Structures are given as C-alpha cells and as structure tokens.
C-alpha cells in the first residue's frame, strides 16, 4: 500500500509527457489511473483539469481544479479563477486569486505562477468596474514588473496579456500612459491566445485613433 502514491506519481508523470506530446486520450487515461491509485494526488487533479480545459470541457476542468485547490496548488487557484472570470463570477475569482497569491508566496512558486495570479487579479478587478481601477492597476503593474524580467519572459506564453489589460484600465481612467501599454500589448500579444487576439484588435484600434501603428517586434 505504501507504494501506491509512488506508482500514482509515475502515471501522473507519464500523463504529463503524453499531454506535452498531444496524446490527449492517453494522457487522460494516465491521469485517471494516477487518481485511482491515490485520490489525494493533487498534481494529477490539476493536470487533468488542464487537459479538460484543452478539450474545452470546462465543467470537468472546474471539478478537477476544485480538488487541486484543496491541496493548495497555486496554479489551480489561478486556473479555477480564470474559469470564473469567463463566467463573470468576479468576486469569487478575486477571493481565489488572493488565496493563490498567499500560497504562491508561502511556497516560493515560480515567477510565472505569480505573474498569472496578478494578471488575473487585475483582470477580475477591472471587470468589476471603475471603482476598482486603482486596485486593478496595482495588480497588473505587479504582473508587468514580473514579465519585464527577460529570465522570466521566456517562460511566459501570455506575456502580452498583462499589458493589454493594463492599457484598458489606464484608458478607462483617461490616462495618457495607456498608449504605451497598447504598444506593448501589440508587440507581445499572440493571435494564438483567444484572449490576446481580442485585445490585439483593441490595441490596433486605439493606436490608430492616436495616430500610431503597431510596432510589432518580430525579433522576439
């Protein structure tokens, strides 16, 4: 019986490899095996949640993230909160993100984990209305501060997101600094990320309105 958690971890690792290689069916089988052997394997629950999100099975993803949150996985707080933002459940998302940031601090999580928690916290605050713009701006500036570190930037596939959101917050405040953030958004955001694709359109429109074009940095 003592070996079960170890075997569970082996299946979880194999599932992650399958997932990375795009073998989603096999990955799901391995994650489920890992959980069957050790229902408290929070990493397997988190990974399975990620997989279900990739498969657009958001309710299933939510269930797995909830189980991972019980094991205090900061990334699970983040991903569950992002699903709540999409469902316009902003106060619940904010509560999860604040808890996630505490856990990330406690566990000394990777900077990219903290980046996503701050980015989503800023996003949730922004969506709650202009009364929370100052708090949204603070969270997003914390995120862009992390993203501006070249050693962290290479691990961030969504580096543009925080700049695109900060641009929207500053624009709502009629702050002229918004243009600089739209320019960053335009340079760093990717059309392959559905959120960033939407924000890129906003960036193009707002830069055009300001008489500027998107200076896309093709070297990055």
pLDDT digits (tens, 9 = 90+) for 26-37: 999 999 999 999
Quick one: pLDDT at residue 213? 87
Q: Give the model confidence (pLDDT) of 81-133 as tens digits.
A: 999 999 999 999 999 999 999 999 999 999 999 999 999 999 999 999 999 99
C-alpha 132/C-alpha 129 separation (Å) is 6
C-alpha 181/C-alpha 178 separation (Å) is 5
Whether 35 is in a domain gets the answer: yes
Whether 126 is in a domain gets the answer: no
Quick one: pLDDT at residue 219? 39
C-alpha 41/C-alpha 206 separation (Å) is 46
Global pTM value: 0.92
Q: Can you give the length of the chain in residues?
A: 220
Q: Give the model confidence (pLDDT) of 134-155 as tens digits.
A: 999 999 999 999 999 999 999 9
Total domains in the chain come to: 1
**Token code pair at residue 124:** 């949730």
- Measured from the Cβ of residue 3, the count of other Cβ atoms closer than 10 Å reads 8
Domain that holds residue 30: 1-53
> Which residue, chain included where needed, has tokens 């604040």?
98
Whether 15 is in a domain gets the answer: yes
pLDDT at 157 over 50: yes
Whether 127 is in a domain gets the answer: no
Quick one: pLDDT at residue 148? 95
Quick one: pLDDT at residue 2? 66
Whether 4 is in a domain gets the answer: yes
Whether 121 is in a domain gets the answer: no
Whether 98 is in a domain gets the answer: no
Whether 102 is in a domain gets the answer: no
pLDDT at 18 over 60: yes
Maximum CA pair distance of the chain?
A: 68
DSSP conformation letters of 156-204: -TTHHHHHHHHHHHHHHTT-TTHHHHHHHHHHH--TTSHHHHHHHHHHH
> Which residue in 104, 52, 128, 110 sits closest to 83, CA to CA?
52
Residues 6+ apart with CB under 8 A from 104: 74, 113, 114, 117
C-alpha 14/C-alpha 21 separation (Å) is 11
Quick one: pLDDT at residue 214? 85
How big is the CA angle at 103 (ends 98 and 106), to the nearest 5 degrees? 130
């Amino acid at each position: 019986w003592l070996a079960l958690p170890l075997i569970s971890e082996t299946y979880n690792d194999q599932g992650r490899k399958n997932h990375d290689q795009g073998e989603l069916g096999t990955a799901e089988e391995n994650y489920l095996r890992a959980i069957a052997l050790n229902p408290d394997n929070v990493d397997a629950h988190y990974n399975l949640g990620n997989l279900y999100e990739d498969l657009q099975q958001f309710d299933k993803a939510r269930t797995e993230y909830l189980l991972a949150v019980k094991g205090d996985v900061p990334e699970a707080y983040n991903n569950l909160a992002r699903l709540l933002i999409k469902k316009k459940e902003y106060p619940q998302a904010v509560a999860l993100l604040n808890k996630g940031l505490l856990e990330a601090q406690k566990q000394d999580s990777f900077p990219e984990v903290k980046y996503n928690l701050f980015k989503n916290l800023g996003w949730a605050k922004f969506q709650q209305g202009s009364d929370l713009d100052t708090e949204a701006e603070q969270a997003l500036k914390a995120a862009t501060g992390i993203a501006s570190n070249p050693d962290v930037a290479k691990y961030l596939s969504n580096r543009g997101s925080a700049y695109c959101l900060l641009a929207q917050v500053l624009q709502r405040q009629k702050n002229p600094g918004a243009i600089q953030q739209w320019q960053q958004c335009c340079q760093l955001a990717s059309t392959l990320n559905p959120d960033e694709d939407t924000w890129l359109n906003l960036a193009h429109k707002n830069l055009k309105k300001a008489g500027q074009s998107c200076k896309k940095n093709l070297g990055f």
